[in-house]
């Protein structure tokens, strides 16, 4: 008898949820919808009719016909036999801003990947009925570094016209960057808060070494008996450390007329007092960490980005979106700092549901780290002409298995600015109304067009005559 009672208890747990008895298909579809990064409009319509539509979303773009003949505008003949152009019906594709996901955006310069990143940030950080419904906006952080030192700022800064934005930069490069970012703010009719230093002792404490004493560390170095060849590179690293951390710089020992002389070092005049809440972000706000600086190399950038990301995750209590802009500029090197930063990103992607985080990586080169490509829910492949890049993609995207690779590569080469091939296995692309089930993209892909931005667009090309084009 006791055995039968146990069997009945177990069987009761195997039955459909009583709250959805007779409507289990809708419950299953709701669970499917909740985890879908992209939702096609007919799916939203069907789910709304059943009272379980998506809670937060933003229009991201639309699917395009792959056959060029299907993309031509329709022609109609009016009563006067004059040709008139009709726009084809555009079916919106929505970005699910409520559930965590991760995205990998790649393509050549000028292909539209940074534009797509900005549209994702608009949808996640803004609550604007023109693009969707977002009652609980996220807090965002964007990492940027221009390896070429060419004067380009982070394109996400152009969101400042409608999103509260602060920019964290290196103290030693504050002048040029302040001028560039303030020019963006004036153009957008907004104010960007430029913080003149980005790290402090709290950054060290957050790494779990609360008892670290910098003065004792320096004293130990002085007693280590380092040679001039050893101390030269070390001095450069210590200079970098003191440029970013809120500590009194060490005195310098130089030889004057053959005698060692101690000279006091002044603090960088661009410093501001350390702020405990520097990385604490509110819903609907954006923090840009731009470490473009001729005195900072890629390895140092990754080390500092790693610290910044750890603090942002720990201090931000609302939903988060973490974005890497032009990641190939600092993620391509094989060193310990890059490896540590990559591991933190991978951890954030693996634990995105626990951390409430969305991770977006925009890069020209898909080869920066293929593990990032493997873990992302969404891949948007913009125009590129590199066979080597495509060879990497076909090894890591299940939808390309068994495809005619030459044909797919030609599709990618022919993509126009703003177009991409979208790979998203869990995207909700349709409804099987007979079964009441959501159709997923699974091992398929589609040609996709990203929408226009509603904030200023900074993705322009500079021409030889000094003009700019979109």
pLDDT at 256 over 60: yes
Asked whether residue 346 carries a pLDDT value surpassing 90, the answer given is yes
| pLDDT value for 440 | 95
Question: 27 or 49, which is more confident?
Answer: 49
Residue 412 scores a pLDDT above 60: yes
Q: How confident is the model at residue 170 (pLDDT cuts 50, 70, 90)?
A: confident
pLDDT of residue 75: 37
Give the closest residue to 441 by CA, choosing from 423, 457, 456.
423
d(CA 222, CA 400): 58
More confident residue, 364 or 194: 364
Closest CA to 135 of 54, 250, 243, 247: 54
Comparing CA positions, the residue from 122, 86, 142, 110 lying closest to residue 419 is 110
**Is 338 or 68 the better-scoring residue by pLDDT?**
338
- What is the C-alpha end-to-end distance of the chain, expressed in Å? 77
Contact in structure between 166 and 311 (CB atoms under 8 Å): no
| CA atoms of 195 and 270, how far apart (whole Å) | 10
DSSP 3-state assignment of 140?
strand
Q: What is the reported pLDDT for 132?
A: 96
- Tokens linked to 75: 């022609």
Q: Is the pLDDT of residue 275 over 90?
A: no
Backbone angles phi, psi at 31, to 5 degrees: -65, -40
The two tokens of residue 151 are 């004067």
Predicted pLDDT at 463: 45
Question: Which residues are bridge partners to 140 per DSSP?
Answer: 286, 321
For residue 297, the model assigns a pLDDT of 87
Res 432 pLDDT > 70: yes
Res 185: pLDDT:
82
Confidence of residue 188 (pLDDT cuts 50, 70, 90): confident
| DSSP β-ladder status, 92-96 and 38-40 | antiparallel
Q: What is the pLDDT of residue 73?
A: 36
Q: State the Cα–Cα distance between residues 16 and 199, nearest whole angstrom.
A: 53
Q: Which of 47-56, 192-201, 237-246, 416-425 has the lowest mean pLDDT?
A: 192-201
Tell me: pLDDT of 146 over 50.
yes
Q: What angle do CA 339, 362, 33 make, to 5 degrees?
A: 105
CB 371 within 8 A of CB 342: yes
According to DSSP, the β-strands at 193-195 and 164-169 are parallel
Per-residue burial over 420-444, b = 16 or more CB atoms within 10 Å of its CB, e = otherwise: bbbbbbbbbbebeeeebebbbbeee
Tell me which of 72 and 5 has the higher pLDDT: 5
Q: 84: part of which helix (H) or strand (E)?
A: strand 83-86
- CA-CA distances (angstroms) from residue 38 to 60, 128, 219? 9, 18, 56
Beta-carbon neighbour count of residue 447 at 10 Å?
A: 17
Q: Residue 107 pLDDT > 60, yes or no? A: yes
On the CB side of 154, CA atoms within 13 Å amount to 32
pLDDT in tens, 280-293: 789 999 999 999 98
Per DSSP bridges, beta strands 164-169 and 285-290 are parallel
Decide if pLDDT at 210 tops 50: no
Kindly state the tokens that stand for 164.
Answer: 């509260």
What local confidence, expressed as pLDDT, does residue 89 receive?
74
Domains and CATH numbers, the chain: 31-72+85-198+278-387+434-447 (3.40.50), 203-263 (no CATH)
* Predicted confidence (pLDDT) per residue in 45-54, tens digit: 999 988 889 9
Give me the helix-helix angle, 405-414 and 387-396, nearest 10°.
120
Secondary structure (H, E, C), 404-427:
CHHHHHHHHHHCCCCEEEEECCCC
247: pLDDT confidence band, cut at 50, 70 and 90? low
Q: Give the per-residue pLDDT at 273.
A: 52
How far lies 251's CA from each of 215, 222, 262, 369, in Å? Answer: 11, 12, 6, 41
- Whole-prediction pTM value? 0.79
What pLDDT, on the 0 to 100 scale, is given for residue 29? 82
DSSP string, 178-231: HHHHHHHHHHHT---EEES----HHHHHHTT-TT--HHHHHHHHHTTT--HHHH
| Maximal CA-CA distance, the chain | 100
Split at pLDDT 50, 70, 90, the class of 238 is confident
Does 403 have pLDDT greater than 80? yes
The DSSP secondary-structure symbol of 355 reads H
What's the whole-number mean pLDDT along residues 378-400? 96
pLDDT in tens, 113-127: 999 999 999 999 999
Distance CA 172, CA 459 (A): 26
pLDDT above 90 covers a percentage of the chain that reads 49
What pLDDT is stored for residue 26 in this prediction? Answer: 76
| Main-chain dihedrals φ then ψ at residue 7, nearest 5 degrees | -60, -45
* Measured CA distances, 307 to 117, 289, 338 (Å): 23, 11, 12
And the tokens for 222?
Answer: 């002085």
**Among 327, 434, 265, CA closest to 107:** 327
Average of per-residue pLDDT across 342-346:
95
Q: Compare 188 and 24 and report the one with higher pLDDT.
A: 188
Integer Cα distance of 28 and 40 in angstroms: 17
pLDDT at 199 over 60: no
Contact indicator for 445, 63 with CB cutoff of 8 Å: no
Distance CA 350, CA 343 (A): 10
Mean pLDDT of the chain, nearest integer: 81
Q: Is the per-residue pLDDT at 371 higher than 90?
A: yes
CA distances from 392 to 163, 367, 404 (A): 36, 7, 15
At residue 448 the predicted structure's pLDDT band, cuts being 50, 70 and 90, is very high
Q: Which helix (H) or strand (E) holds 344?
A: helix 336-350
pLDDT, tens only, 61-99:
999 987 655 443 333 434 444 444 555 578 999 999 999
């Amino acid at each position: 008898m006791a055995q039968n009672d146990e069997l009945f208890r177990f069987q009761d747990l195997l039955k459909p949820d009583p709250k959805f008895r007779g409507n289990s298909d809708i419950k299953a579809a709701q669970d499917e919808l909740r985890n879908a990064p992209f939702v096609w409009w007919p799916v939203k319509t069907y789910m709304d009719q059943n009272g379980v539509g998506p809670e937060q979303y933003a229009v991201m773009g639309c699917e395009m016909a792959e056959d060029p003949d299907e993309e031509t505008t329709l022609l109609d003949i009016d009563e006067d036999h004059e040709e008139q152009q009709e726009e084809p019906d555009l079916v919106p594709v929505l970005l699910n801003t409520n559930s965590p996901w991760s995205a990998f955006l790649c393509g050549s310069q000028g292909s539209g990947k940074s534009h797509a990143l900005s549209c994702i940030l608009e949808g996640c950080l803004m609550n604007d009925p023109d693009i969707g419904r977002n009652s609980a906006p996220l807090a965002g952080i964007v990492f940027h570094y221009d390896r070429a030192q060419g004067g380009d700022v982070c394109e996400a800064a152009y969101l400042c016209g409608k999103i509260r934005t602060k920019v964290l930069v290196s103290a030693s490069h504050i002048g040029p960057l302040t001028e560039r970012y303030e020019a963006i703010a004036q153009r957008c009719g907004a104010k960007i808060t430029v913080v003149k230093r980005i790290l402090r002792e709290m950054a060290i404490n957050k790494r779990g070494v609360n008892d670290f004493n910098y003065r004792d560390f320096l004293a130990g170095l002085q007693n280590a008996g380092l040679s001039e060849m050893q101390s030269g590179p070390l001095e450069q690293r210590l200079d970098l450390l003191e440029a970013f951390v809120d500590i009194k710089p060490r005195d310098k020992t130089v030889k004057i007329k053959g005698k060692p002389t101690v000279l006091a070092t002044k603090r960088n005049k661009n410093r501001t007092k350390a702020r405990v809440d520097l990385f604490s972000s509110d819903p609907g706000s954006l923090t840009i960490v731009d470490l473009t600086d001729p005195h900072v190399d890629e390895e140092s950038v990754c080390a500092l980005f790693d610290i910044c990301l750890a603090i942002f995750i720990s201090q931000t209590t609302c939903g988060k979106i973490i974005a890497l802009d032009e990641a190939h500029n600092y993620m391509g090197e094989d060193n310990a700092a890059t490896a540590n930063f990559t591991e933190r990103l991978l951890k954030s992607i693996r634990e995105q549901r626990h951390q409430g985080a969305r991770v977006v990586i925009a890069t020209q080169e898909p080869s920066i780290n293929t593990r990032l490509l493997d873990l992302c829910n969404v891949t948007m492949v913009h125009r590129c002409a590199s066979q080597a890049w495509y060879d990497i993609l076909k090894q890591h995207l299940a939808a390309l298995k068994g495809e005619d690779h030459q044909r797919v590569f030609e599709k990618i080469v022919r993509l126009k600015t703003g177009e991409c091939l979208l790979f998203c296995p869990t995207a909700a692309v349709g409804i099987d109304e007979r079964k009441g089930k959501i159709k997923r993209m699974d091992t398929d892909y589609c040609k996709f067009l990203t929408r226009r931005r509603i904030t200023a667009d900074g993705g322009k090309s500079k021409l030889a005559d000094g003009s700019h084009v979109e």
